[in-house]
Amino acid sequence: MTIDREAPIGVFDSGVGGLTVACEIMQNLPKERIVYFGDTARVPYGSKSRETVLRYSRQIVRFLQTQGVKAIVVACNTASALALDEIEKEIDIPIIGVIKSGARVAAATTKDDKVGVIATESTIQSGMYQDYIRKIDASIEVFGKACPLFVPLVEEGWMEDSITNQVIERYLSVFARQQIDTLILGCTHYPLLSKSIKEVMGAGVELVNPAYETAIELGGLLKRLDIESTIKETGEFPYRFFVSDAANKFTHFANSILPVATPVTQQINIEEY
Amino acid sequence: MTIDREAPIGVFDSGVGGLTVACEIMQNLPKERIVYFGDTARVPYGSKSRETVLRYSRQIVRFLQTQGVKAIVVACNTASALALDEIEKEIDIPIIGVIKSGARVAAATTKDDKVGVIATESTIQSGMYQDYIRKIDASIEVFGKACPLFVPLVEEGWMEDSITNQVIERYLSVFARQQIDTLILGCTHYPLLSKSIKEVMGAGVELVNPAYETAIELGGLLKRLDIESTIKETGEFPYRFFVSDAANKFTHFANSILPVATPVTQQINIEEY
């Protein structure tokens, strides 16, 4: 199969969080076009079962393939943890997720071989961050902690806030006795709390945000497969956005975090794919 | 069309919260059988659009009809607010929701004609509680406040908790200057926070929980239509539970709040209906 190097990259997430990954791709691979899908009708994935997250992810991959994407980035940690391995076997275009990148940076960052991971319940239960890190270096100890209130707190807009700080302190207090020196922000919403998380963890703990590293990994992959885009300007706007619910709300959020103004977001019925 | 009086009542919610309504039906209408559906694969509804909540509710109603229900109770405030009016026109069995009952009790309870409503974002934005109460008595002032963090706090199990109390205080502080004497708990999860809410609001504010009143309204409706069940004991377990995801987790929760031990919960693919 020949892959069209000028085809777009498919990026998907359970909702808006994956825009942080799309943003890194825009900044680091500026020639690449993007088709983004946010499953806002069924968000969040973080408390749902493997079976359900896999079914949802398969529908989204089928949708992205109708858009002619040349590669797919799973910008959702939960879907990367629960669905990526299966889907990789089922499709004939390259697909990468945020977890492997995050794991690799964390393994390279830790000096004392003690890494913490904060993520949704389903991501932590999957043990994927732990597995990937141990595959890289079996001597690294990995400690996971689910933080289910972080996403609703971010969505409520309580980013630098006394209540949010208390929630952060309560969740992260488990890491005090484990003396980690590296903490993976294993959910795309969490970087929006990084200032407060940094304060609680102190200067001795390095925070790892997999979004940037995923964009870099994607760049390497496209190069290796010789499917990088070579077109600088087509005149056409290079990014398209689709959601399963509440397109206007999504556009509003996208405009607040992306380096470009987002045109119309299209709503589709993902259950039909 | 003749309705079979021994057929079960269909009760549905976006997740586990509607079990508080099922519980009131069990206790107040002990002869009635129940088929419960919790949409755990797509929970929560409270931040989703009218269009999406209506599509989901229609699928669930179609599923409940395959189970031969004689009437339907929408135990979810958001679905009652966004979908009930439409669905009522589309089906030929009676259907009721929690909002009308809650509105009626609140209107009967307030002495100073000032009622507060706390609920999800979508329920508040729909203005349904306000509309129903004003239809009953146009002189009553209704003040709504969305409390999106209450559901995740309850699901995290932080029911009587210093952080939760601060969230309650912050959300409910808007009611201080409005001098309400009645507060509707307009989301099925909120009664689980009623002790702390009561403390914050003080003795002068009556809390209204629509679950009980909905069961009473259902009883009246069945009587009026002459379709009450007359069978005391069939030997068969009278309650069946279905979810769209994570059946075991649901059974565990159901057993913690229902007056009967829940047998197996069945998982179905609701998107097929």
Q: What is the DSSP string of chain B?
A: ----TTSPEEEEESSSTTHHHHHHHHHH-TT--EEEEE-TTT---TTS-HHHHHHHHHHHHHHHHHTT-SEEEE--HHHHHHTHHHHHHH-SS-EEEHHHHHHHHHHHH-SSSEEEEEE-HHHHHHTHHHHHHHHH-TT-EEEEEE-TTHHHHHHTT-SS-HHHHHHHHHHHGGGGGGT-SEEEE-STTGGGGHHHHHHHH-TTSEEE-HHHHHHHHHHHHHHHTT-----S--SS--EEEEESS-HHHHHHHHHHHSSS---PPEE--GGG-
Q: Is residue A193 part of a domain?
A: yes
Say if residue B205 is in the same domain as residue B165: yes
Q: Is residue B260 part of a domain?
A: yes
- Please say if the pLDDT value at position B264 is more than 90: no
The per-residue pLDDT for range B186-216, each reduced to its tens digit, is 999 999 999 999 999 999 999 999 999 999 9
Q: A152 to chain B: which residues are within 8 Å by CB? A: 148-149, 152
Q: Is residue B35 part of a domain?
A: yes
- Please say if the pLDDT value at position A29 is more than 80: yes
- Please say if the pLDDT value at position B263 is more than 90: no
Q: Can you give the length of chain B in residues?
A: 273
Q: What are phi and psi of B37, to 5 degrees?
A: -125, 130
Q: Is residue B1 part of a domain?
A: no
ipTM for the whole complex: 0.89
Domain count, chain A: 2
pLDDT given for residue B22 in this prediction: 96
Say if residue A126 is in the same domain as residue A170: yes
The per-residue pLDDT for range A97-141, each reduced to its tens digit, is 999 999 999 999 999 999 999 999 999 999 999 999 999 999 999
Say if residue B216 is in the same domain as residue B258: yes
Q: Which of B45, B52, B158 to mutate to test the interface with A (most CBs of A within 10 A)?
A: B52
Q: Is residue A248 part of a domain?
A: yes
Task: Report which of A85, A79, A75 is spatially closest to residue A25, judged by C-alpha positions.
Answer: A75
Q: Is residue A123 part of a domain?
A: yes
CATH of the domain at A31: 3.40.50.1860
Alpha-carbon dihedral angle through residues A73, A78, A81, A84, given to the nearest 10 degrees: -40
Contacts with B, A 139-178, CB within 8 Å: 148-149, 152-153, 155-156, 162-163, 166-167, 170
Q: A166 to chain B: which residues are within 8 Å by CB? A: 162-163, 166
Mean pLDDT of chain B: 95
pLDDT given for residue B2 in this prediction: 84
Decide if A152 and B148 are in contact by the 8 Å CB cutoff: yes
Taking the C-alpha atoms of residue B226 and residue B28, their distance in angstroms, rounded to an integer, is 17
Q: Which amino acid is at B129?
A: Y
Q: What are phi and psi of B266, to 5 degrees?
A: -95, 140
Residue A187 falls in the annotated catalytic set: yes
Q: How far is B154 from chain A (nearest CA, A)?
A: 10
- Please give the share of chain A, as a percent, with pLDDT higher than 90: 89
- Structural domain of B173: 99-210
The per-residue pLDDT for range B131-165, each reduced to its tens digit, is 999 999 999 999 999 999 999 999 898 999 999 99
- Please say if the pLDDT value at position B262 is more than 90: no
Taking the C-alpha atoms of residue B167 and residue A15, their distance in angstroms, rounded to an integer, is 25
Q: Is residue A67 part of a domain?
A: yes
Q: B163 to chain A: which residues are within 8 Å by CB? A: 163, 166-167, 170
Direct distance between the N- and C-terminal alpha carbons of chain B, in angstroms, rounded to an integer: 23
Say if residue B189 is in the same domain as residue B234: no
pLDDT given for residue B261 in this prediction: 87
Nearest by CB to residue A246, choosing from B48, B170, B246, is B48
Mean pLDDT, residues A172-185 taken together: 95
Q: Which of B210, B228, B258 is the last residue of a domain?
A: B210
Say if residue A87 is in the same domain as residue A103: no
Q: Which of B210, B237, B260 is the last residue of a domain?
A: B210
- Of the pLDDT bands very low, low, confident and very high (cuts 50, 70, 90), residue A203 is very high
pLDDT given for residue A263 in this prediction: 76
Q: Which of A209, A233, A261 is the last residue of a domain?
A: A209
Say if residue B88 is in the same domain as residue B222: yes
SS3 A194: helix
The per-residue pLDDT for range A147-171, each reduced to its tens digit, is 999 999 998 989 999 999 999 999 9
* Catalytic (active-site) positions of B: 76, 187
Say if residue A31 is in the same domain as residue A116: no
Say if residue B111 is in the same domain as residue B140: yes
Mean pLDDT of chain A: 95
Q: Show the tokens assigned to A85.
A: 């391995």
Say if residue A157 is in the same domain as residue A188: yes
Say if residue A41 is in the same domain as residue A171: no
pLDDT given for residue A155 in this prediction: 87
Say if residue B20 is in the same domain as residue B52: yes
Q: Is residue B199 part of a domain?
A: yes
pTM above 0.80, yes or no: yes
Say if residue B21 is in the same domain as residue B89: yes
